[in-house]
Amino acid sequence: MILTLCRRYRMFLVLFGVNIALLFLEPSVGRTAFAVTGANVLEMLSFLPPIFILLGLLDVWVDRETMMKYMGQGSGARGMLLAFILGSAAAGPLYAAFPMAGVMMKKGASMLNVFIFIGAWSTTKIPLIMFETATLGFRFMALRLVFNIAGIFLIAFILENDVRRHPAPAPREKEI
């Protein structure tokens, strides 16, 4: 049990050990590292509870058949457009997209649409587009947006093809 927990959280434990070592070797750097870590944890805690509430509602309110109809394997361009719009309209940091993608997969969304959703979340958010237009100009924003959209769809198609050829093994019950 303890060995399993240590294995699961080994990266956290290693980084925590590095922070403790920094605290003794370079106290000012160690204090700064702990302050930054604390600020990041507080930021995550401000985003994650509402996201998990919305995920719970999505899980309960949207049945599997509906998700498969609009974003499943046979959804075509409609599903890709819906995934793109959902990702672009989303708010919050990228790490909030992954639980949402997990629920989409559980409900039967195709991997292509999940990849498009994550790509749109990371690069085409509406507030980011407005900020870029105001600070860097319309031409830069439009050029970046065109290349990003092409890249999102290209990468999503490549990844979906790769996932189809090399499916991941199902997780064992103890790992869940």
Q: Any idea what DSSP says for residue 91?
A: -
State residue 149's pLDDT score.
95
* Average pLDDT value over all residues in the chain: 87
What is the value of pTM for the model shown? 0.74
Q: How many residues does the chain have?
A: 176
Of the listed ranges 80-84, 111-115, 172-176, the one predicted with least confidence: 172-176
State residue 151's pLDDT score.
96
Q: Measure the CA angle with vertex 162, ends 160 and 163; round to 5°.
A: 65
Q: Is the pLDDT of residue 162 over 90?
A: yes
Q: Any idea what DSSP says for residue 166?
A: S
Encoded tokens for 11: 């990266």
State residue 173's pLDDT score.
58
With a pLDDT cut of 70, the percent of the chain lying above it is 96
State residue 133's pLDDT score.
92
Q: Is the pLDDT of residue 174 over 60?
A: no
State residue 134's pLDDT score.
92
Each residue of 53-94: pLDDT tens digit?
877 877 778 778 888 888 888 888 999 999 999 899 887 788
* E strand spans, the chain: none
Q: How far apart, in whole angstroms, are the C-alpha atoms of residue 62 and residue 70? A: 11
State residue 118's pLDDT score.
95
Q: Is the pLDDT of residue 38 over 70?
A: yes
State residue 157's pLDDT score.
95
